[in-house]
Structure 1
Amino acid sequence: MIARFALAASAAFAMTVSASAQRTDLTLGMVLEPPHLDPTAGAAAAIDEVVYANVFEGLTRIASDGAVQPGLAENWVISDDGLTYTFELREGVTFHDGTTLDAGDVVFSLDRARGEASVNAQKALFEPIENVEQMDELTVEITLSRPAGDFLYNMGWGDAVIVAPESAETNKENPVGTGPFRFAEWQKGAAVTLERFDGYWGEAPALEQVTIRFIPDPAAATAALLAGDVQAFPNLPTPESIPQFEADPRFEVVIGSTEGETILSTNNAKAPFDDIRVRQAIAHAIDRQAIIDGAMFGLGTPIGSHFAPHHPAYMELVETYPYNPERARELLAEAGHGDGISATLKLPPPSYARRGGEVIAAQLREVGIDLEIIPVEWAQWLEQVFTNTDYDLTIVSHTEPNDIGIYAREDYYFNYDNDDFDAVIDELSVTAGEDARYELFRKAQQIIAEDAVNGYLFQLPKNGVWDARLEGLWENSPVQANDVTGVRWTQ
């Protein structure tokens, strides 16, 4: 009887393993729901996290290690003066609606992204382009007005994906790309479903269906993983639950790095924050490690400027304004605010913002800055803060790679203006040599650190937790992506 039970149990286990090995579906969790699904028409990182590499592709693509790889262009030639890039497109590429990709689609996409009517959130990526010309059906020549050392990298951003004129205007609700997955369904407020595209030009993904569930509540995210309702959370919003998952053999926990500079964004054009002494006071009032411990349960790297610590050009500037509440109070008094300041702090949904906001509000209260905390949904944040600059302070992670150039943009939501900084970025834009570029990156970091443009808090970690039988999910996030093209179930 015992032997018969053991044999039956063994058979059942074998059947379970076999079923697991053959599994071709995945439910993946995300905190934020994107406002739409067109990466060429929005700033929200959540857009790329759904569609980058999965649905849409560019001439190049950024791999999990940050390297530039061929995308829709299988190869390219760069002229000796660095001004002409000739891309050869892959043959046999079709969009999900059956239309064929050709050089005309590339011309259309890049001209659309850099045109006067462009709504591309990263229009600056295309500023060096002087002309885009179709040489033949599968060859495109791009002429630059000046050398751009990061041009191939920029063409791998989600904002630079190639779209078709037949579907470009409806990509927000019905995205049509060339990637290995096609859009199937969007249940607003709940999930987006992608299905394997059988007409894909490259290697077919192992997964047949991917459902991306939006779970803004941290506790619900943890519960969904534990229950198996979600099999992967590439950016788990509950760092306090990491030890629990590390102790559970059903899960793999991978703590990686991101490009997410988490900052106390400041409206530099609005009194009293237009006074550098007030911004310096805030910088001195911030205890970064206490914020990391309180909001991130110790996971995160302190930063003193808008730059990722893992980058070779990173400067350690945390001590530019060390934690010093007494000096903060002195600076406020010097600025005429000895009796204190009242302001608002608008917080989007991510837990790093909501939890971090509580800690920062307590820290600033100690030096005489009283903050009214205003929780906002993501769509509200994009409209009120990012678009209309209707805010005093906010907390957000900027996850775009090497994005220090945003401080030179006119009308950007920081409302920062510094001619010396702009000159550094202008020089950087025409500099191709790695050593020279790194030196310019360091100059830029130092300027905005000394100007205390924002409160620089910490580099956002990538707290990945997923079913231990999964492989192929990214450890790090060099770009905003949940690339599932290489994900598969194993025993």
Structure 2
Amino acid sequence: MLGAIVLPLAGALTMAGCSSAVEQAGADTGAEVTEGGVLRIGDGGDLTPATLFSGATAQATVTGLVYDTLISYPPEGLEPRPELARSWDVSPDGRSVRLVLRDDVTFHDGKPLTSADAEFSLRTYADPVRAGQLARTAALITEYDTSDPHALTLTLAQPAGNILDLLDIVPIIDRATLADLDSGKGYNGTGAFRFAEWKPGTSITFEANEDYWDGAPHLDGVEYVIVPDAQTRAAQLRSGQLDLLLGVSPRDADQLASDKAFQVVDQSGVQRTWYIGANVQAPGLDDVRVRQAIAYAVDNERIVADVYSGHGTAASLPWPEYSPAFDADLNATYNQDLDRAKSLVAEAGDIPVIPITYTTGSTESEAIAQIVQADLAAAGIDTTLEPVDNATNLEHLIGGTYGGLWITAHTYAQYTPVTLPTSAYPFNANKNTSNFVDPDYQAAVEATWRIVDPAGLEAETAYRTLNTELLDNAFVIELFNHENQLAMSADVHGVDWSKKAELDLSDAYLGG
């Protein structure tokens, strides 16, 4: 997904958010705003209630439409802006955050929002069983002052340069309906849309919240339609059965963009990075030379050109160019070098056949896996391909149970840089999908985490150490960065999204 220039972080972390508008998809067409209608969204994933906080597409649709957060980042930067919190202040030592909440917000059942709800939401998110990727950051909060129902003061065990990232990500949920949330029976939030019904394997439906604190939506409702096959989804968009696709293949994107009946929009500010993960406990992958050989063997430039039609940039590091952690020299560390790969394979000796897991339902995912398999064979590493469905892939990702290598995409690099290695499943220094635990990596992450100003000189030095650890250990092998594209009917207007890629349809409408 696209990235734009990050606004300066020094100072932005200690002041109330700005309210500058984010440019919306389809907003400049001149179409008259119309009221009513149901927007039909097509995607391949189904809802898994137990992992609501994971960020998977179906779950993200629920959290994005039904819930609000305390603050929000605009897609184009990291300058926070108000949501349920009107203003906030981070202490100079980074150990305290005070937030002033809106006093005009109610949940969908009519109950007023209070600071106790915010506390409950942050405590719930911090529970490791909830699969929230920023749970470690939430766990740093040791004290909550909710004596004022419209103000909340957080005390942290240590400074955390990404504390505002947490407040942007955590949905504010209702204490009284947690059991319904866990079962998928009901979701009671403060957002622009109310949860109506979940039909497993078929759809999730939402109705407009006419009492939304930021103004009632134009739409009557939203239907998230589960269509596992990507080509079928594209065909249903063309035939008018769907109005919007959360992802589209590069080939389909190019074809749809050339047709005036459709529009393809770059989801700016939310970079997605394709990578190869390595379970370091799997046979052969416990040897760092083998992992480095894999990194040198793969032709990521070819993947960008052949599979993604040039829609992306080859990379050895996860960061977008606007990130303070981006390093142009280190980003080229693992440009394809078959001779170097073969040399490392020879040093490592006998390597068992390694499985490569990838997700079904995407021709791009399968094509990337086939290119990786061929490149590794050229370097002397034999592999087998193991396709799995979305739900199984998510289970492996959270549980760290892949049999060898896996290929998928991650986000979180668009946030404050330390959020990635303290939070994202593949990178978390304490527990990650690769089962990689290393004192030097942990020390580098911990040192970076405690820096209050994530854009200062101290942080710059820390990022270089962190990048070196990522590259040398090669437990996550980056392939390329790209910008997710939303494909939609030309009749869809006003679509927006959050920094975490959740759709914001509060101003969306349907009209010719």
Structure-1-length-normalised TM-score: 0.88
Greater shift in the superposed pair: 182-191 or 414-423: 414-423
Q: What is residue 125 of structure 1 aligned with on the other side?
A: 137
8 Å contact from structure 1 (residues 428, 437) kept in 2: yes
Matched, 1:423 2:443: yes
Matched, 1:373 2:395: no
What is the one-letter code of the residue matched to 1:324? D
Cα deviation for residue 119 of structure 1 reads 5.0
* Equivalent of residue 502 in structure 2, options 470, 473, 481: 481
8 Å contact from structure 1 (residues 36, 47) kept in 2: no
Cα deviation for residue 410 of structure 1 reads 2.5
SS in 2 for 1:383: helix
Cα deviation for residue 318 of structure 1 reads 4.1
8 Å contact from structure 1 (residues 307, 404) kept in 2: no
* Equivalent of residue 213 in structure 2, options 175, 179, 201: 201
Q: What is residue 248 of structure 1 aligned with on the other side?
A: 259
Cα deviation for residue 148 of structure 1 reads 2.5
Cα deviation for residue 414 of structure 1 reads 1.1
Q: What is residue 38 of structure 2 aligned with on the other side?
A: 25
Q: What is residue 178 of structure 2 aligned with on the other side?
A: 168
8 Å contact from structure 2 (residues 39, 510) kept in 1: no
Q: What is residue 4 of structure 1 aligned with on the other side?
A: none
Quick one: distance in 2 between partners of 1:250 and 1:363?
40
SS in 1 for 2:470: helix
Cα deviation for residue 256 of structure 1 reads 4.1
Residues 1:397 and 1:22: Cα distance change in structure 2 (over 3 Å)? same
8 Å contact from structure 2 (residues 35, 218) kept in 1: no
Superposed, which structure 2 residues align to 1:199-348 within 5 Å? Answer: 199-236=211-248, 238-257=249-268, 258-316=270-328, 317-337=330-350, 341-348=352-359
Cα deviation for residue 50 of structure 1 reads 0.5
User: 1:346-393 CA deviation, whole Å, 9 max, x = no partner?
Assistant: 112352422211111121122222221111112212223431424201
CA RMSD of aligned residues (A): 2.4
Quick one: distance in 2 between partners of 1:187 and 1:232?
19
User: 1:125-150 CA deviation, whole Å, 9 max, x = no partner?
Assistant: 21331211212222211112223232
What is the one-letter code of the residue matched to 2:500? V
Q: What is residue 13 of structure 2 aligned with on the other side?
A: none
Cα deviation for residue 321 of structure 1 reads 2.6
Quick one: distance in 1 between partners of 2:50 and 2:475?
31
SS in 1 for 2:42: strand
Quick one: distance in 2 between partners of 1:184 and 1:306?
38
Matched, 1:404 2:404: no
Quick one: distance in 2 between partners of 1:118 and 1:234?
24
Superposed, which structure 2 residues align to 1:32-51 within 5 Å? Answer: 32-36=45-49, 39-40=52-53, 43-51=54-62
Matched, 1:101 2:113: yes
Superposed, which structure 2 residues align to 1:442-453 within 5 Å? Answer: 442-453=464-475
SS in 1 for 2:292: helix
Cα deviation for residue 99 of structure 1 reads 2.3
Quick one: distance in 1 between partners of 2:297 and 2:470?
18
Residues 1:414 and 1:370: Cα distance change in structure 2 (over 3 Å)? same
Quick one: distance in 2 between partners of 1:48 and 1:460?
22
Cα deviation for residue 336 of structure 1 reads 0.9
Quick one: distance in 2 between partners of 1:115 and 1:50?
22
Report sequence identity in percent: 26
User: 1:278-306 CA deviation, whole Å, 9 max, x = no partner?
Assistant: 01111111000112233323222111023
Q: What is residue 187 of structure 1 aligned with on the other side?
A: 199
Structure-2-length-normalised TM-score: 0.85
Cα deviation for residue 30 of structure 1 reads 2.0
Quick one: distance in 1 between partners of 2:51 and 2:396?
21
Quick one: distance in 2 between partners of 1:441 and 1:350?
36
8 Å contact from structure 1 (residues 38, 175) kept in 2: no
8 Å contact from structure 1 (residues 148, 431) kept in 2: yes
SS in 2 for 1:298: coil
Quick one: distance in 2 between partners of 1:450 and 1:18?
53
Can you give the 5+ residue segments of structure 2 that lack an aligned partner in the other structure? 1-29
What is the one-letter code of the residue matched to 2:255? Q
Quick one: distance in 2 between partners of 1:18 and 1:261?
35
8 Å contact from structure 1 (residues 262, 397) kept in 2: yes
Quick one: distance in 2 between partners of 1:127 and 1:399?
21
Cα deviation for residue 408 of structure 1 reads 4.5
8 Å contact from structure 1 (residues 105, 162) kept in 2: yes
Superposed, which structure 2 residues align to 1:438-477 within 5 Å? Answer: 438-474=460-496
Quick one: distance in 2 between partners of 1:267 and 1:469?
45
Q: What is residue 6 of structure 1 aligned with on the other side?
A: none
